[in-house]
Structure 1
Amino acid sequence: MEPNNNIDNTQETQELIDTYLLGNLDAHQLAEFEKQMNIYPDFRKNVMGQKALMQGVEEINLKHSLNDFHSEIADEPEKKWLSRGWLALAASILVLISVSTWAVLSNGNSPEKVFASNFKPDPGLPTTMGTSSDYEFYHGMVNYKRKEYKEAISRWEPLYAANPENDTLIYFLGVANLANGNPRQAEKYLQLAKTKPNSAFSEEISYYLALSLLKGNKVDEAKAVLENSESSSNIVLLKELDGL
Protein backbone atom coordinates (compact mmCIF):
# COMPACT_ATOMS: atom_id res chain seq x y z
CA MET A 1 0.00 0.00 0.00
CA GLU A 2 1.00 3.61 -0.56
CA PRO A 3 1.70 5.65 2.60
CA ASN A 4 -1.19 8.00 1.76
CA ASN A 5 -3.67 5.12 1.84
CA ASN A 6 -5.25 4.17 5.13
CA ILE A 7 -6.29 1.07 7.07
CA ASP A 8 -10.06 0.53 6.99
CA ASN A 9 -11.72 1.54 10.26
CA THR A 10 -13.52 -1.77 10.83
CA GLN A 11 -14.64 -3.36 14.09
CA GLU A 12 -11.63 -5.67 13.87
CA THR A 13 -9.33 -2.65 13.61
CA GLN A 14 -10.98 -0.98 16.61
CA GLU A 15 -10.63 -4.16 18.67
CA LEU A 16 -6.94 -4.32 17.72
CA ILE A 17 -6.49 -0.70 18.85
CA ASP A 18 -8.18 -1.51 22.16
CA THR A 19 -5.87 -4.49 22.64
CA TYR A 20 -2.84 -2.29 21.90
CA LEU A 21 -3.94 0.44 24.33
CA LEU A 22 -4.60 -2.11 27.06
CA GLY A 23 -1.07 -3.51 26.58
CA ASN A 24 -2.18 -6.97 25.52
CA LEU A 25 -0.24 -7.38 22.23
CA ASP A 26 2.72 -9.76 22.14
CA ALA A 27 6.14 -8.53 20.97
CA HIS A 28 5.59 -9.45 17.31
CA GLN A 29 2.08 -7.95 17.19
CA LEU A 30 3.32 -4.79 18.91
CA ALA A 31 6.13 -4.30 16.40
CA GLU A 32 3.74 -4.77 13.47
CA PHE A 33 1.17 -2.43 15.03
CA GLU A 34 3.72 0.37 15.55
CA LYS A 35 4.97 -0.13 12.00
CA GLN A 36 1.44 0.40 10.68
CA MET A 37 1.09 3.58 12.77
CA ASN A 38 4.26 4.96 11.18
CA ILE A 39 3.08 4.11 7.67
CA TYR A 40 -0.52 5.32 7.89
CA PRO A 41 -1.04 8.81 9.42
CA ASP A 42 -4.83 8.49 9.63
CA PHE A 43 -4.51 5.18 11.44
CA ARG A 44 -2.12 6.76 13.93
CA LYS A 45 -4.59 9.62 14.42
CA ASN A 46 -7.34 7.09 15.15
CA VAL A 47 -5.11 5.35 17.72
CA MET A 48 -4.28 8.65 19.40
CA GLY A 49 -7.97 9.53 19.56
CA GLN A 50 -8.73 6.25 21.29
CA LYS A 51 -5.84 6.81 23.68
CA ALA A 52 -7.08 10.30 24.54
CA LEU A 53 -10.52 8.93 25.36
CA MET A 54 -9.10 6.27 27.66
CA GLN A 55 -6.77 8.77 29.35
CA GLY A 56 -9.72 11.10 29.92
CA VAL A 57 -11.59 8.31 31.66
CA GLU A 58 -8.52 7.48 33.76
CA GLU A 59 -8.09 11.10 34.83
CA ILE A 60 -11.73 11.34 35.92
CA ASN A 61 -11.49 8.08 37.84
CA LEU A 62 -8.18 9.13 39.44
CA LYS A 63 -9.72 12.41 40.60
CA HIS A 64 -12.61 10.54 42.19
CA SER A 65 -10.20 8.05 43.82
CA LEU A 66 -8.06 10.86 45.26
CA ASN A 67 -11.12 12.61 46.65
CA ASP A 68 -12.21 9.36 48.33
CA PHE A 69 -8.67 8.82 49.65
CA HIS A 70 -8.50 12.31 51.14
CA SER A 71 -11.88 11.74 52.77
CA GLU A 72 -10.61 8.52 54.34
CA ILE A 73 -7.51 10.28 55.72
CA ALA A 74 -9.69 12.92 57.35
CA ASP A 75 -11.76 10.22 59.00
CA GLU A 76 -8.77 8.07 60.03
CA PRO A 77 -8.77 8.91 63.78
CA GLU A 78 -12.29 7.53 64.05
CA LYS A 79 -11.41 4.16 62.47
CA LYS A 80 -10.80 2.30 65.73
CA TRP A 81 -11.91 -0.93 64.13
CA LEU A 82 -8.60 -1.13 62.25
CA SER A 83 -6.85 -2.49 65.34
CA ARG A 84 -4.69 -5.61 65.36
CA GLY A 85 -7.41 -7.47 67.20
CA TRP A 86 -10.03 -6.65 64.57
CA LEU A 87 -7.64 -7.51 61.73
CA ALA A 88 -6.81 -10.87 63.34
CA LEU A 89 -10.51 -11.62 63.75
CA ALA A 90 -11.19 -10.64 60.13
CA ALA A 91 -8.37 -12.89 58.96
CA SER A 92 -9.82 -15.81 60.95
CA ILE A 93 -13.26 -15.24 59.44
CA LEU A 94 -11.80 -15.16 55.91
CA VAL A 95 -9.99 -18.46 56.54
CA LEU A 96 -13.21 -20.01 57.81
CA ILE A 97 -15.14 -18.76 54.78
CA SER A 98 -12.46 -20.07 52.42
CA VAL A 99 -12.46 -23.52 54.03
CA SER A 100 -16.26 -23.67 53.97
CA THR A 101 -16.38 -22.61 50.32
CA TRP A 102 -13.77 -25.21 49.37
CA ALA A 103 -15.72 -27.92 51.18
CA VAL A 104 -18.94 -27.05 49.30
CA LEU A 105 -17.34 -26.77 45.87
CA SER A 106 -15.21 -29.88 46.20
CA ASN A 107 -18.25 -32.01 47.02
CA GLY A 108 -19.23 -32.75 43.43
CA ASN A 109 -20.79 -30.28 41.05
CA SER A 110 -22.92 -27.36 42.23
CA PRO A 111 -24.61 -24.31 40.67
CA GLU A 112 -21.92 -22.06 42.12
CA LYS A 113 -19.14 -24.24 40.71
CA VAL A 114 -20.72 -24.38 37.26
CA PHE A 115 -21.20 -20.59 37.33
CA ALA A 116 -17.59 -19.97 38.35
CA SER A 117 -16.20 -22.22 35.62
CA ASN A 118 -18.36 -20.71 32.86
CA PHE A 119 -18.73 -17.02 33.66
CA LYS A 120 -16.49 -14.65 31.80
CA PRO A 121 -17.76 -11.15 30.96
CA ASP A 122 -18.45 -10.31 27.34
CA PRO A 123 -15.28 -8.64 25.94
CA GLY A 124 -17.33 -5.57 25.02
CA LEU A 125 -17.54 -3.37 21.95
CA PRO A 126 -14.71 -1.37 20.34
CA THR A 127 -14.49 1.96 22.16
CA THR A 128 -14.80 4.24 19.15
CA MET A 129 -15.23 7.94 19.78
CA GLY A 130 -18.56 7.94 17.96
CA THR A 131 -20.86 10.96 17.97
CA SER A 132 -21.34 13.24 20.93
CA SER A 133 -24.60 11.46 21.73
CA ASP A 134 -22.70 8.16 21.99
CA TYR A 135 -19.95 9.56 24.20
CA GLU A 136 -21.44 8.44 27.53
CA PHE A 137 -22.06 4.93 26.21
CA TYR A 138 -18.48 4.49 25.00
CA HIS A 139 -17.13 6.18 28.12
CA GLY A 140 -19.00 3.49 30.05
CA MET A 141 -17.59 0.83 27.71
CA VAL A 142 -14.07 1.94 28.62
CA ASN A 143 -15.00 1.52 32.30
CA TYR A 144 -16.53 -1.87 31.52
CA LYS A 145 -13.40 -3.12 29.73
CA ARG A 146 -11.31 -2.02 32.70
CA LYS A 147 -13.59 -4.09 34.95
CA GLU A 148 -14.95 -0.91 36.54
CA TYR A 149 -18.44 -2.33 36.35
CA LYS A 150 -20.03 -0.04 38.93
CA GLU A 151 -18.87 3.02 36.99
CA ALA A 152 -20.09 1.56 33.69
CA ILE A 153 -23.50 0.82 35.17
CA SER A 154 -23.81 4.34 36.59
CA ARG A 155 -23.16 5.78 33.12
CA TRP A 156 -25.47 3.40 31.27
CA GLU A 157 -28.52 3.47 33.54
CA PRO A 158 -29.47 7.09 32.66
CA LEU A 159 -29.04 6.20 28.98
CA TYR A 160 -31.37 3.23 29.45
CA ALA A 161 -33.94 5.45 31.15
CA ALA A 162 -33.84 7.74 28.12
CA ASN A 163 -33.86 4.93 25.56
CA PRO A 164 -35.35 1.72 27.03
CA GLU A 165 -35.61 0.02 23.63
CA ASN A 166 -31.84 -0.13 22.97
CA ASP A 167 -31.09 -3.88 23.13
CA THR A 168 -27.31 -3.37 23.09
CA LEU A 169 -27.46 -1.12 26.13
CA ILE A 170 -29.84 -3.48 27.96
CA TYR A 171 -27.61 -6.47 27.21
CA PHE A 172 -24.43 -4.85 28.53
CA LEU A 173 -26.25 -3.55 31.61
CA GLY A 174 -27.20 -7.16 32.30
CA VAL A 175 -23.67 -8.51 31.87
CA ALA A 176 -22.11 -5.63 33.85
CA ASN A 177 -24.47 -6.26 36.75
CA LEU A 178 -23.68 -9.97 36.71
CA ALA A 179 -19.95 -9.21 36.69
CA ASN A 180 -20.51 -6.76 39.55
CA GLY A 181 -22.19 -9.41 41.71
CA ASN A 182 -25.81 -8.33 41.16
CA PRO A 183 -27.46 -11.43 39.62
CA ARG A 184 -31.03 -10.28 40.31
CA GLN A 185 -30.50 -6.99 38.52
CA ALA A 186 -28.66 -8.82 35.75
CA GLU A 187 -31.59 -11.21 35.38
CA LYS A 188 -34.01 -8.28 35.10
CA TYR A 189 -32.07 -6.66 32.26
CA LEU A 190 -31.32 -9.91 30.43
CA GLN A 191 -34.95 -11.07 30.63
CA LEU A 192 -35.89 -7.75 29.07
CA ALA A 193 -33.18 -8.06 26.41
CA LYS A 194 -34.50 -11.51 25.51
CA THR A 195 -37.86 -9.99 24.56
CA LYS A 196 -36.24 -7.78 21.93
CA PRO A 197 -36.76 -9.30 18.45
CA ASN A 198 -33.82 -9.95 16.13
CA SER A 199 -31.18 -8.87 18.62
CA ALA A 200 -27.60 -9.29 17.43
CA PHE A 201 -26.84 -10.65 20.91
CA SER A 202 -29.62 -13.27 21.10
CA GLU A 203 -27.34 -16.26 21.83
CA GLU A 204 -25.20 -14.25 24.25
CA ILE A 205 -28.32 -13.01 26.04
CA SER A 206 -29.46 -16.61 26.59
CA TYR A 207 -26.01 -17.58 27.88
CA TYR A 208 -25.70 -14.80 30.45
CA LEU A 209 -29.37 -15.01 31.42
CA ALA A 210 -28.89 -18.72 32.19
CA LEU A 211 -25.85 -17.85 34.30
CA SER A 212 -27.75 -15.16 36.21
CA LEU A 213 -30.54 -17.66 36.91
CA LEU A 214 -27.97 -20.24 37.94
CA LYS A 215 -26.47 -17.73 40.36
CA GLY A 216 -29.89 -17.58 42.00
CA ASN A 217 -30.10 -21.41 42.09
CA LYS A 218 -32.86 -21.41 39.46
CA VAL A 219 -31.39 -24.40 37.67
CA ASP A 220 -34.53 -25.55 35.84
CA GLU A 221 -35.21 -22.03 34.56
CA ALA A 222 -31.61 -21.76 33.38
CA LYS A 223 -31.98 -25.02 31.46
CA ALA A 224 -35.19 -23.80 29.81
CA VAL A 225 -33.44 -20.66 28.56
CA LEU A 226 -30.74 -22.72 26.84
CA GLU A 227 -33.01 -25.27 25.17
CA ASN A 228 -32.94 -25.26 21.36
CA SER A 229 -29.91 -22.97 21.31
CA GLU A 230 -27.48 -23.49 18.43
CA SER A 231 -24.54 -21.76 20.13
CA SER A 232 -21.74 -24.15 21.07
CA SER A 233 -21.11 -22.37 24.39
CA ASN A 234 -24.81 -22.58 25.26
CA ILE A 235 -24.90 -26.28 24.41
CA VAL A 236 -21.86 -26.96 26.61
CA LEU A 237 -23.38 -25.00 29.50
CA LEU A 238 -26.69 -26.87 29.17
CA LYS A 239 -24.85 -30.21 29.39
CA GLU A 240 -23.18 -29.07 32.60
CA LEU A 241 -26.55 -27.99 34.01
CA ASP A 242 -28.02 -31.39 33.17
CA GLY A 243 -25.52 -32.86 35.62
CA LEU A 244 -26.89 -30.88 38.57
Structure 2
Amino acid sequence: MNNDELQNETINDAMYKELINSSLDLAFEYGEVAVDSILNYDVISELPIVKSIVALGGIGLSIKEKHFTKKVLCFLKEFHSKSSSENIMDFRNKLNTDQVFKDKVTEQIILVIDRLKTEQRAVLFAKLLIGHIQEKYDWETFCYFSEFLDLIQLIDIAVLSDLFIKSSNEIDNIAVTTFDRYMMLASIERLKLYGFVVVKDLAFIGPSDEFRKQAYISSLGTVIYNAMKV
Protein backbone atom coordinates (compact mmCIF):
# COMPACT_ATOMS: atom_id res chain seq x y z
CA MET A 1 0.00 0.00 0.00
CA ASN A 2 1.53 3.35 -1.06
CA ASN A 3 1.30 6.68 0.78
CA ASP A 4 -1.56 7.97 -1.37
CA GLU A 5 -3.61 4.87 -0.58
CA LEU A 6 -2.84 5.27 3.12
CA GLN A 7 -3.98 8.89 3.07
CA ASN A 8 -7.29 7.80 1.53
CA GLU A 9 -7.93 4.99 4.03
CA THR A 10 -9.84 5.91 7.15
CA ILE A 11 -8.90 4.49 10.52
CA ASN A 12 -12.27 2.71 10.50
CA ASP A 13 -11.31 0.91 7.27
CA ALA A 14 -7.94 -0.04 8.75
CA MET A 15 -9.64 -1.41 11.86
CA TYR A 16 -12.12 -3.37 9.72
CA LYS A 17 -9.29 -5.01 7.77
CA GLU A 18 -7.50 -5.94 10.99
CA LEU A 19 -10.64 -7.49 12.49
CA ILE A 20 -11.03 -9.60 9.36
CA ASN A 21 -7.42 -10.70 8.98
CA SER A 22 -4.69 -10.06 11.53
CA SER A 23 -1.37 -8.59 10.44
CA LEU A 24 -0.01 -8.56 14.01
CA ASP A 25 2.80 -10.67 15.37
CA LEU A 26 0.82 -12.24 18.22
CA ALA A 27 4.03 -13.28 19.99
CA PHE A 28 5.13 -9.65 20.36
CA GLU A 29 4.34 -7.98 23.71
CA TYR A 30 2.92 -4.67 22.52
CA GLY A 31 1.90 -3.69 26.02
CA GLU A 32 5.51 -3.70 27.21
CA VAL A 33 6.71 -1.12 24.68
CA ALA A 34 7.13 2.42 26.01
CA VAL A 35 4.69 4.88 24.43
CA ASP A 36 7.41 7.27 23.23
CA SER A 37 9.23 4.48 21.37
CA ILE A 38 6.18 2.66 19.96
CA LEU A 39 7.22 3.35 16.35
CA ASN A 40 10.89 2.42 16.81
CA TYR A 41 10.22 -1.29 16.31
CA ASP A 42 10.03 -2.66 12.77
CA VAL A 43 7.48 -5.27 13.88
CA ILE A 44 5.19 -2.37 14.84
CA SER A 45 5.96 0.41 12.37
CA GLU A 46 5.37 -1.86 9.36
CA LEU A 47 1.90 -2.96 10.41
CA PRO A 48 -0.76 -1.66 7.97
CA ILE A 49 -3.00 -0.32 10.74
CA VAL A 50 -0.06 1.56 12.30
CA LYS A 51 0.87 3.01 8.90
CA SER A 52 -2.72 4.20 8.55
CA ILE A 53 -2.63 5.91 11.95
CA VAL A 54 0.69 7.55 11.11
CA ALA A 55 -0.61 8.73 7.73
CA LEU A 56 -3.75 10.18 9.28
CA GLY A 57 -1.69 11.86 12.00
CA GLY A 58 0.44 13.78 9.56
CA ILE A 59 4.10 14.56 10.24
CA GLY A 60 5.00 12.96 13.54
CA LEU A 61 2.65 11.52 16.09
CA SER A 62 1.90 13.18 19.41
CA ILE A 63 2.20 11.23 22.66
CA LYS A 64 -1.59 10.93 22.67
CA GLU A 65 -1.59 9.44 19.16
CA LYS A 66 1.22 7.04 20.06
CA HIS A 67 -0.73 5.97 23.13
CA PHE A 68 -3.79 5.45 20.95
CA THR A 69 -1.67 3.26 18.65
CA LYS A 70 -0.49 1.19 21.60
CA LYS A 71 -4.05 0.71 22.87
CA VAL A 72 -5.21 -0.37 19.40
CA LEU A 73 -2.43 -2.96 19.19
CA CYS A 74 -3.17 -4.36 22.66
CA PHE A 75 -6.88 -4.54 21.80
CA LEU A 76 -6.21 -6.34 18.52
CA LYS A 77 -3.74 -8.81 20.00
CA GLU A 78 -6.29 -9.83 22.65
CA PHE A 79 -9.05 -10.02 20.02
CA HIS A 80 -7.02 -12.24 17.70
CA SER A 81 -5.87 -14.46 20.57
CA LYS A 82 -9.54 -15.54 20.71
CA SER A 83 -9.81 -16.05 16.94
CA SER A 84 -11.23 -19.53 17.43
CA SER A 85 -14.08 -18.21 19.58
CA GLU A 86 -17.62 -19.33 18.88
CA ASN A 87 -19.37 -17.26 16.17
CA ILE A 88 -16.19 -15.38 15.17
CA MET A 89 -16.54 -16.41 11.52
CA ASP A 90 -20.17 -15.26 11.44
CA PHE A 91 -19.04 -11.94 12.91
CA ARG A 92 -16.36 -11.50 10.24
CA ASN A 93 -18.73 -12.51 7.45
CA LYS A 94 -21.22 -9.89 8.62
CA LEU A 95 -18.49 -7.25 8.65
CA ASN A 96 -17.76 -8.21 5.05
CA THR A 97 -21.33 -8.13 3.82
CA ASP A 98 -23.20 -5.57 5.94
CA GLN A 99 -21.91 -2.00 5.50
CA VAL A 100 -24.12 -0.58 8.25
CA PHE A 101 -22.92 -3.23 10.70
CA LYS A 102 -19.30 -2.69 9.68
CA ASP A 103 -19.56 1.08 10.23
CA LYS A 104 -21.31 0.64 13.58
CA VAL A 105 -18.74 -1.83 14.91
CA THR A 106 -15.58 -0.07 13.73
CA GLU A 107 -16.79 3.35 14.88
CA GLN A 108 -17.66 2.03 18.34
CA ILE A 109 -14.26 0.33 18.65
CA ILE A 110 -12.32 3.44 17.61
CA LEU A 111 -14.34 5.79 19.84
CA VAL A 112 -14.01 3.58 22.92
CA ILE A 113 -10.29 2.86 22.47
CA ASP A 114 -9.61 6.56 21.96
CA ARG A 115 -11.11 7.51 25.31
CA LEU A 116 -9.75 4.62 27.38
CA LYS A 117 -6.94 5.66 29.73
CA THR A 118 -4.77 2.53 29.57
CA GLU A 119 -3.90 -0.37 27.31
CA GLN A 120 -5.08 -2.74 30.07
CA ARG A 121 -8.58 -1.33 29.60
CA ALA A 122 -8.22 -1.89 25.83
CA VAL A 123 -7.53 -5.57 26.53
CA LEU A 124 -10.67 -5.76 28.69
CA PHE A 125 -12.58 -4.07 25.87
CA ALA A 126 -11.49 -6.81 23.46
CA LYS A 127 -12.75 -9.41 25.94
CA LEU A 128 -16.10 -7.65 26.13
CA LEU A 129 -16.36 -7.64 22.32
CA ILE A 130 -15.66 -11.37 22.22
CA GLY A 131 -18.42 -11.88 24.79
CA HIS A 132 -20.85 -10.06 22.51
CA ILE A 133 -19.71 -12.05 19.48
CA GLN A 134 -20.34 -15.24 21.48
CA GLU A 135 -23.90 -13.94 22.04
CA LYS A 136 -23.55 -13.74 25.81
CA TYR A 137 -25.16 -10.27 25.64
CA ASP A 138 -26.59 -7.99 22.98
CA TRP A 139 -25.07 -4.91 21.35
CA GLU A 140 -26.68 -2.43 23.72
CA THR A 141 -25.33 -4.32 26.75
CA PHE A 142 -21.88 -4.45 25.14
CA CYS A 143 -21.97 -0.65 24.71
CA TYR A 144 -23.13 -0.28 28.33
CA PHE A 145 -20.25 -2.44 29.56
CA SER A 146 -17.86 -0.40 27.40
CA GLU A 147 -18.87 2.78 29.23
CA PHE A 148 -17.88 1.19 32.54
CA LEU A 149 -14.32 0.71 31.26
CA ASP A 150 -13.81 4.48 31.58
CA LEU A 151 -14.25 4.17 35.36
CA ILE A 152 -13.08 0.68 36.23
CA GLN A 153 -10.17 0.18 38.64
CA LEU A 154 -8.26 -3.01 39.42
CA ILE A 155 -10.00 -3.26 42.77
CA ASP A 156 -13.37 -3.45 41.01
CA ILE A 157 -12.44 -6.71 39.27
CA ALA A 158 -11.09 -8.10 42.56
CA VAL A 159 -14.33 -7.18 44.34
CA LEU A 160 -16.43 -8.81 41.61
CA SER A 161 -14.23 -11.90 41.82
CA ASP A 162 -14.75 -12.21 45.57
CA LEU A 163 -18.50 -11.72 45.31
CA PHE A 164 -18.73 -14.09 42.32
CA ILE A 165 -17.07 -16.87 44.33
CA LYS A 166 -19.08 -16.25 47.50
CA SER A 167 -22.31 -14.83 45.96
CA SER A 168 -22.36 -12.27 48.80
CA ASN A 169 -20.08 -10.98 51.52
CA GLU A 170 -19.93 -8.39 54.26
CA ILE A 171 -18.04 -5.46 52.75
CA ASP A 172 -15.37 -5.53 55.48
CA ASN A 173 -14.69 -9.21 54.72
CA ILE A 174 -14.21 -8.91 50.95
CA ALA A 175 -10.80 -10.42 50.26
CA VAL A 176 -9.03 -7.47 48.64
CA THR A 177 -6.29 -6.83 51.18
CA THR A 178 -3.96 -4.70 49.06
CA PHE A 179 -6.32 -1.71 48.98
CA ASP A 180 -7.38 0.84 51.57
CA ARG A 181 -10.76 0.07 53.18
CA TYR A 182 -12.20 3.32 51.86
CA MET A 183 -11.09 2.39 48.34
CA MET A 184 -13.24 -0.69 48.90
CA LEU A 185 -16.26 1.50 49.61
CA ALA A 186 -15.51 3.57 46.50
CA SER A 187 -15.36 0.36 44.44
CA ILE A 188 -18.68 -0.84 45.85
CA GLU A 189 -20.26 2.52 44.95
CA ARG A 190 -18.95 2.34 41.35
CA LEU A 191 -20.16 -1.22 40.91
CA LYS A 192 -23.52 -0.38 42.49
CA LEU A 193 -23.93 2.63 40.18
CA TYR A 194 -23.72 0.38 37.11
CA GLY A 195 -25.93 -2.33 38.59
CA PHE A 196 -23.17 -4.91 39.04
CA VAL A 197 -23.45 -5.06 42.83
CA VAL A 198 -26.39 -4.76 45.22
CA VAL A 199 -25.90 -3.66 48.84
CA LYS A 200 -28.31 -4.65 51.60
CA ASP A 201 -29.51 -1.74 53.75
CA LEU A 202 -28.73 1.26 51.56
CA ALA A 203 -29.52 3.77 54.32
CA PHE A 204 -26.36 5.51 55.55
CA ILE A 205 -25.84 5.22 59.31
CA GLY A 206 -22.14 5.86 59.87
CA PRO A 207 -18.70 5.02 58.42
CA SER A 208 -18.24 1.86 60.48
CA ASP A 209 -21.72 0.61 59.59
CA GLU A 210 -20.96 0.98 55.88
CA PHE A 211 -18.33 -1.76 56.13
CA ARG A 212 -20.74 -4.15 57.84
CA LYS A 213 -23.29 -4.02 55.05
CA GLN A 214 -23.78 -7.07 52.87
CA ALA A 215 -22.80 -6.82 49.19
CA TYR A 216 -24.18 -9.16 46.50
CA ILE A 217 -23.07 -9.61 42.91
CA SER A 218 -26.01 -9.04 40.54
CA SER A 219 -26.85 -11.10 37.47
CA LEU A 220 -25.44 -8.27 35.32
CA GLY A 221 -22.29 -8.21 37.47
CA THR A 222 -21.89 -11.93 36.92
CA VAL A 223 -22.12 -11.46 33.15
CA ILE A 224 -19.50 -8.72 32.94
CA TYR A 225 -17.17 -10.50 35.35
CA ASN A 226 -17.31 -13.72 33.33
CA ALA A 227 -16.57 -11.73 30.17
CA MET A 228 -13.57 -9.86 31.62
CA LYS A 229 -11.96 -12.80 33.40
CA VAL A 230 -11.70 -14.99 30.28
Give the TM-score of the pair, scaled to structure 1. Answer: 0.29
Instruction: Report the structure, 1 or 2, having the larger strand content.
Output: 2
Larger Rg: 1
- Higher RCO structure, 1 or 2 (CA under 8 Å, sep 6+): 2
Give the TM-score of the pair, scaled to structure 2. Answer: 0.30
